[in-house]
Structure 1
Amino acid sequence: MAVTRSAEAYDGGEISGISDDPAETYINRELSWLAFNERVLAEARNENYPLLERLRFLSISGSNLDEFMMIRVAGLVGQAQRGIDRLSIDGLSPAQQLSAIRNTLKRINAEQRECWSELRGLLDEAGITIADNRRVEPESYTSLKTYFLDEVVPVITPQALDPAHPFPFVSNEGVGLLFNLTRASDGARLVEMVLIPSALPRFVRVPGEKAIYISIESLICRFAKHIFPGFKVEGDGAFRVLRDSDIEIEEEAEDLVRTFRSAIQRRRRGQVIQLELEHDFDPVSEEILLEQLSTQGTTITKTDGLIGVAGLSDIIAEDRPDLKFSSYSPRYPERILEHDGDCFAAIREKDIVIHHPYESFEVVVDFLRQAAKDPDVVAIKQTLYRAGDQSPVIMALIAAAERGKSVTAVVELKARFDEEQNLLWASELERAGVQVIYGFVDWKTHAKVSMVVRREEKGFRTYCHFGTGNYHPVTTKIYTDLSYFTADPKIGRDAAKLFNFVTGYVEPRKTGLLAISPIDLREKLYMRIDREIENAKAGQPAAIWAKLNSLTDKGVIDRLYAASQAGVEIQLVIRGICCLRSGVEGLSDSIRVKSIIGRFLEHSRIWAFANGAEIPGDRTKVYISSADAMSRNLNRRVEALVPIRNKTVHDQVLEQVLLANLLDTEQSWVQQPGGEYTRMEPGEKPFNCHRYFMTNPSLSGRGGSLEAGDVPKLALRKGAA
């Protein structure tokens, strides 16, 4: 299908300051992501955080690296092996990027080991012992032995490695052990493999009041003689495998569901991208392992710490509230409560914005539950990118279909690592009578939209929900996102066109308010940036504020460079990847980039344009979006950019959410012209945006609270509140 997309290059004039060396103008995407993960890892060293929360950040850094290896590094390995010399934004070939990545990974892996060693000692002092290489008291030893014999031995299967036995398949993220054995009766040598089933916990807690943990691989090694009676263990070693986990779908796929089921199976058998070994791995066993699993594209890492840092998440579950952040219960929006829980009445009166996780995601579920039960609701349309494995949203859609309503669900099969769960949900929905649509083969439907059509006195009215995050019950508790509810007829008509585009490939010729990628979202952003450039040249106030997860698109970056050179003041809050270089003389003097890492994961996408007046102000143009400033979001995904026109919501998003992020000093990292990040000094008046939102009352539908002084008013002065 033909969809017009504008060129990525800036075509509004010459951009000065662009070096002949792209590395001096742009930052490598992969290295920028690794820098982000180093900021995450740095939070594990943050002494202001409770101990188990520091451990959580260490675990997250490990999980992040796993996905990076399985997707990004795997992609580069594939390009290098096929001889594809596609250059990165900073001019590096796949092979050059792999070399730089592996050098950086060595440093990060060393930092993780050091961090784990530090945290392990602190945990021991706090009464949580990791007994991998330590003797334990006789009572604990007996409990561990009983657990091993009763719970572990029945589910593990030793496999001999010799010419008579083919080398076992090791699944993606699989952990295993190799044992070098000598038979006591005749001195015969044998190597055995024990693969650890994913059903077993990564860390086993010794029964009893004392918090004593042991990793599953250490437990098996400790009691190996019970698996191999009559053998002497000469050596052993634990290993872990990561495989290429990206899924590629050909455009001519005839049956998308069948194709994805097949692709998921192929993922589990993808090329080994990383082989992680204990530093004292038995040499004989190691030689066999490398011969069977490593290829030219495999990264081999040896650690004297813990393999699979992500597995530390098991220990975080320990019931020690004194070592965790104080509990926090999100508020239910007062505006809905003022209407006795009637979502439609509240939205009908005035648009509402909900700020998750400070305000409960339950209101989004209630919106759909009410629609399912309401006899006047005739139709529900819903996009589903990630819904989780226990989704109340899915249950509400099923309930609506079972009550005879017309329900359409756009289920995105290409949601990475959620493909299998989404296939299961699609089957459940279809059985209930929901019309399930899988969208485009070559584009992901990433927009987060709900649309409810209700029969009322004056005819049909459309109620819409637009989100910057997913309809996922777990991530909504830790991701900061915005939910926007409106009954604006223009937006309702645009939402209907968006759904028609996805379900029937009917490209909207014109929308009233929404911008939709890959149709015109890029052009809308370009137009707004160009307008700021014009205003700056005309001597009018000109500024851009934006909050995004990632900024990698060359076209957007070049536009922002041009705006900076025209005198536009630009403030960007980019949590993760940022390929733009800020504060470079002659190139980006007026651009400032910061990244916020803290208790909650910053996830909302917001744009604000001064529009010829001081920012923040009534004339500022404010938009929320499901899209980051990445080529994939602007060219290869269905996304929505939503203008915020209601004054109450406009002020909440601009003068609270966005401004608080700009003011934060306690959780912020500032990008330097060279691309590196330094932690911001808190200053005389430290300001923590997460604490601000946790401790101030909800403003959902109550914009007057700002004027009444119920909430501290923010001003654009460092640390002011």
Structure 2
Amino acid sequence: MSNADFLKAPRPTPCTIEGFDPDSPARFFNRELSWLGFNWRVLEEAENPKVPLLERVRFLSISASNLDEFYTVRVAGLRELAQAGNTTPAADGLTPAQQLVKINEDARNLMARQQKVLQTLREMMEDEGISILSAHRITEDDRRALRQTFLDTIFPVLSPLAIDPAHPFPFIANMGYCLAIELQRNRDGNVLKALLPIPSQIDRFVRLPAEGDRHRFCFVEDVLLLHIDSLFPGYSVKDHFGFRVLRDSDLEVEEEAEDLVREFEVALKRRRRGEVVRLTVSPGAPAGLKDIVMRELGVREDETIELEGMIGVADTSELVLNARPDLLWPVFTPRVPERVQDHDGDMFAAIRQKDMLLHHPYETFDMVVRFLNQAARDPNVVAIKNTLYRTSKNSPIVEALCEAAEDGKSVTALVELKARFDEAANIRQSRRLERSGAHVVYGFLDWKTHAKIATVVRREGDKLVTYTHWGTGNYHPITAKIYTDLSFFTCDPALGRDAAKVFNYLSGYANPEGLENLSLSPHSLKPKLLELIEGEIEHARAGRPAQIWAKMNSLIEADMIDALYRASQAGVQIDLIVRGICGLRPGVKGLSENIRVKSIVGRFLEHSRIACFGNGYGLPHEKARVFISSADWMGRNLNRRVETLLEIMNPTVKAQIVSQIIAANLADVAQSWVMQPDGRFLRAEVEDGGFAFNCHRFFMENPSLSGRGSAGAGDVPVLTHRRD
């Protein structure tokens, strides 16, 4: 498929915006509204008829859980600023209060759309033999079956709570779902107000007896209302409504905390009791009971959403049934690189042969686990160092590090306690590592350590050889099955020295000097990127080919955007693949007419960060400069985190990144959205009967260049992407 001229990345036609001032804040899009735009794209995949039905349900659930997290973190922060009277505008010119108004309007529309999508999917599921029964469809036979289910699996964990002077209003946890009930005593008509919190340990959808091949469910709240007599004997339901709480989940840590672990444990408790930022209620709530709930939770009317339909749409993830593989993506088994197989699974031998880049999930993340497991058990290995930002609950990575430490090897683990929503898990992992004898460090109080590095020092003959792994994603075997990320393995001595300096910096706070092939934020990474962009500007002005390809999750840092604007104005051809937030306005004459931006939303979550610069030769070219990174182009990543930007020197790995990975992303049509000058993303268009190239399918079907073994890379397809 080389020299495939039909692979053309679409771009919006450059336009002139009347009255537009390229020096004003209007040159930026708002970060929060751009994120909501991304979540609209996720939701639209739930409406995509080309996506298997239960995968559409999964996209719906993801869009809802994304929105929940957005409110508990981003909206919570804006709310706090607005309440404090802060009027400092964002880069786009909007104050916190103005942003909240726009966010709430868009979010309400998004939630209403989720309900419509859910209804459509329920109807389609019904046709496929998966029923979600409302209360009036539950038969007497079903009731008898539900009675036993209720007594066995629900009743033991419930805590019905009266609301009266002797029973103060209870604490409702973040994302807590609850029934508020008005009850009437049967013998005298006295009214009792009560709450019935539904613990998160209980499934939202209760399974009913199957009818043939049909899977049948009902809502747990309907089951509870059917069994009120068991929870409040002698009472009948007079009225009720459901509500769900979202709380401020951002963490604040004292700057002078002497014991960082203990401080985080305290902060996590504070998070659980954060202020309510959104209350969602079912329609028709009795006014008096609703007023009590709102008053006790401390929410205003504008923070309360009355939702017609299902509250807590994220719970639809329970309906993605493995028992119906015909309604899911076809099974995909990640590849083991041929070169590793040629060496009988010996990772060190495979890496010694030459540098190796794995593209997850297409090449299995098990190779990263094998690398560390082999290091833990190899008597020639003397030291292992590893950064841990996010990892799985029963992490094989942590298991390998503990095994190595217990075997007497020198093990250092950088555990990032500030990994949002994984703080508690990371504290548990750090305690476990310490018990095994590993050195555990926590990096910096003010900066998160987001870099993904592992080093293994091995005695080979009369010298020590350092093997390094550099990743664009986390050491998390579960998310590595759905996140597209890069793993670069090398025993290059220069990169070993660079990695050692980074770990010394993290543990000893000594600024790393003389880095040979690495740039590090918050010190040199952003200046390096700006220098590379300026280099392309100079090439354009000198009449040489000038081109930039970059892939990331978010682009919002103002200096980076302005540098890209200057490059566009100088004639540099710029193609950006930005999955989520994008504050850059592409395709505006005189500002960004040479920039196009696309977003890919599909079966896998695009997560790798890559930057390619033509270096006076254009792209693709063997003399281009190619980098992989842990950092998105955001203020926090470039200015307030420890991140890496690694230049790739190996020719085969460079070709794999440029002519396989980036070229296929740019050529993708099937899963692509193209950003317009007004900020909207439109699906890439396919001519009637035309071929819609799908980069995920391409990667599933074709091995990576640098992972080939004795068969060689000659038959591996590469794409020569050309710009229209």
Q: C-alpha distance in 1, partners of 2:582/2:591?
A: 16
- Give the TM-score normalised by structure 1: 0.95
Q: Which amino acid aligns with 1:542?
A: A
Task: Tell me which of 52, 60, 68 is aligned to 1:58.
Answer: 60
Q: Establish whether residue 160 from structure 1 lines up as the match of residue 162 from structure 2.
A: yes
User: Deviations for 1:373-428, whole angstroms, at most 9, x for unmatched residues?
Assistant: 11111000000000121210000001100110000000000000000000000000
Higher mean alpha-carbon deviation, 95-104 vs 676-685, is at 676-685
Aligned to 1:430: 434
Q: Label 1:340 to 1:297 Cα distance change in 2 as closer, same or farther (>3 A).
A: farther
Aligned to 2:656: 652
Q: C-alpha distance in 2, partners of 1:297/1:502?
A: 47
Aligned to 1:686: 692
Aligned to 1:449: 453
Q: C-alpha distance in 1, partners of 2:701/2:676?
A: 32
SS of 2:136's partner is coil
Q: Label 1:399 to 1:48 Cα distance change in 2 as closer, same or farther (>3 A).
A: same
Task: Tell me which of 423, 434, 456 is aligned to 1:419.
Answer: 423
User: Deviations for 1:278-335, whole angstroms, at most 9, x for unmatched residues?
Assistant: 1132333212111111335972111111111111111113510011111111011111
Pairwise CA distance, 1:227: 2.0
Q: Which amino acid aligns with 2:721?
A: L
Residue pair 1:448, 1:466 contacting (<8 A) in 2 also:
yes
Alignment of 1:298-697 (within 5 A): 299-683=303-687, 684-697=690-703
Q: Label 1:28 to 1:705 Cα distance change in 2 as closer, same or farther (>3 A).
A: farther
Residue pair 1:29, 1:578 contacting (<8 A) in 2 also:
yes
User: Deviations for 1:134-167, whole angstroms, at most 9, x for unmatched residues?
Assistant: 3223332211121112221221111111122110
Higher mean alpha-carbon deviation, 699-708 vs 326-335, is at 699-708
User: Deviations for 1:406-452, whole angstroms, at most 9, x for unmatched residues?
Assistant: 00000000000000000000000000001000110000000000000
Q: C-alpha distance in 1, partners of 2:652/2:716?
A: 14
Q: C-alpha distance in 1, partners of 2:71/2:556?
A: 19
SS of 2:267's partner is helix
Aligned to 2:705: 699
Q: C-alpha distance in 1, partners of 2:525/2:291?
A: 53
Q: C-alpha distance in 2, partners of 1:296/1:579?
A: 31
Higher mean alpha-carbon deviation, 51-60 vs 127-136, is at 127-136
Task: Tell me which of 32, 35, 49 is aligned to 1:33.
Answer: 35
SS of 1:249's partner is coil
User: Deviations for 1:151-186, whole angstroms, at most 9, x for unmatched residues?
Assistant: 212211111111221101101111110111111211
SS of 2:239's partner is strand
Q: C-alpha distance in 2, partners of 1:22/1:31?
A: 18
Alignment of 1:263-274 (within 5 A): 263-274=267-278
Aligned to 2:8: none
Any stretches of 5+ residues in structure 2 without a counterpart? 1-18
Residue pair 1:529, 1:560 contacting (<8 A) in 2 also:
yes
Q: C-alpha distance in 1, partners of 2:566/2:56?
A: 41
Q: Which amino acid aligns with 1:271?
A: E
Pairwise CA distance, 1:18: 8.0
Q: Establish whether residue 712 from structure 1 lines up as the match of residue 712 from structure 2.
A: no
Q: Which amino acid aligns with 1:544?
A: I
Q: C-alpha distance in 2, partners of 1:676/1:250?
A: 40
Aligned to 1:143: 145
Residue pair 1:350, 1:701 contacting (<8 A) in 2 also:
no
Residue pair 2:339, 2:709 contacting (<8 A) in 1 also:
no
Aligned to 2:11: none
Aligned to 1:88: 90
Q: Which amino acid aligns with 2:515?
A: T
Task: Tell me which of 199, 203, 206 is aligned to 2:205.
Answer: 203
Q: Label 1:706 to 1:276 Cα distance change in 2 as closer, same or farther (>3 A).
A: farther
Q: Establish whether residue 130 from structure 1 lines up as the match of residue 132 from structure 2.
A: yes
Residue pair 1:53, 1:323 contacting (<8 A) in 2 also:
yes
Higher mean alpha-carbon deviation, 410-419 vs 679-688, is at 679-688
Q: C-alpha distance in 1, partners of 2:302/2:494?
A: 53
Q: C-alpha distance in 1, partners of 2:642/2:84?
A: 30
Q: C-alpha distance in 2, partners of 1:407/1:202?
A: 43
Alignment of 1:226-245 (within 5 A): 226-245=230-249
Q: C-alpha distance in 1, partners of 2:181/2:151?
A: 18
Q: Label 1:544 to 1:717 Cα distance change in 2 as closer, same or farther (>3 A).
A: closer
Q: C-alpha distance in 1, partners of 2:713/2:379?
A: 39
Q: Which amino acid aligns with 1:98?
A: L
Pairwise CA distance, 1:486: 0.6
Q: C-alpha distance in 2, partners of 1:54/1:551?
A: 27
Residue pair 1:351, 1:701 contacting (<8 A) in 2 also:
no
Higher mean alpha-carbon deviation, 690-699 vs 166-175, is at 690-699
SS of 2:126's partner is helix
Aligned to 2:75: 73
SS of 1:134's partner is helix
Q: C-alpha distance in 1, partners of 2:136/2:53?
A: 22
- Give the TM-score normalised by structure 2: 0.95
Aligned to 1:171: 173
Residue pair 1:648, 1:702 contacting (<8 A) in 2 also:
no
Identity of aligned residues (%): 53
Q: C-alpha distance in 2, partners of 1:48/1:601?
A: 17
- The size of the alignment, in residue pairs, is 702
Pairwise CA distance, 1:697: 2.9
Q: C-alpha distance in 1, partners of 2:516/2:20?
A: 37
Q: C-alpha distance in 1, partners of 2:651/2:99?
A: 47
Q: Which amino acid aligns with 1:196?
A: I
Pairwise CA distance, 1:230: 1.8
Q: C-alpha distance in 2, partners of 1:530/1:651?
A: 24
SS of 1:290's partner is helix
Aligned to 1:8: none
Q: C-alpha distance in 1, partners of 2:416/2:20?
A: 39
Q: Which amino acid aligns with 1:78?
A: E
SS of 2:577's partner is strand
Q: Which amino acid aligns with 2:152?
A: D
Q: C-alpha distance in 2, partners of 1:21/1:523?
A: 22
Aligned to 1:100: 102
Residue pair 1:384, 1:448 contacting (<8 A) in 2 also:
yes
Pairwise CA distance, 1:215: 2.0
Residue pair 1:663, 1:718 contacting (<8 A) in 2 also:
no
Pairwise CA distance, 1:696: 1.5
Task: Give the alignment's Cα RMSD to 1 decimal.
Answer: 1.6
SS of 1:441's partner is coil
Q: Which amino acid aligns with 2:102?
A: A
Pairwise CA distance, 1:458: 4.5
SS of 1:151's partner is helix
SS of 1:206's partner is strand
Q: C-alpha distance in 1, partners of 2:426/2:305?
A: 34
Q: Label 1:297 to 1:342 Cα distance change in 2 as closer, same or farther (>3 A).
A: farther
Q: C-alpha distance in 1, partners of 2:228/2:612?
A: 62
Structure scoring higher RCO (CA < 8 A, sep ≥ 6) equals 2
Aligned to 2:260: 256
Q: Label 1:318 to 1:361 Cα distance change in 2 as closer, same or farther (>3 A).
A: closer
Q: C-alpha distance in 2, partners of 1:394/1:173?
A: 30
SS of 2:246's partner is strand
Pairwise CA distance, 1:654: 0.9
Q: Which amino acid aligns with 2:64?
A: G
Aligned to 1:192: 194
Q: Which amino acid aligns with 2:91?
A: I
User: Deviations for 1:183-214, whole angstroms, at most 9, x for unmatched residues?
Assistant: 12111111111111121112111243531112
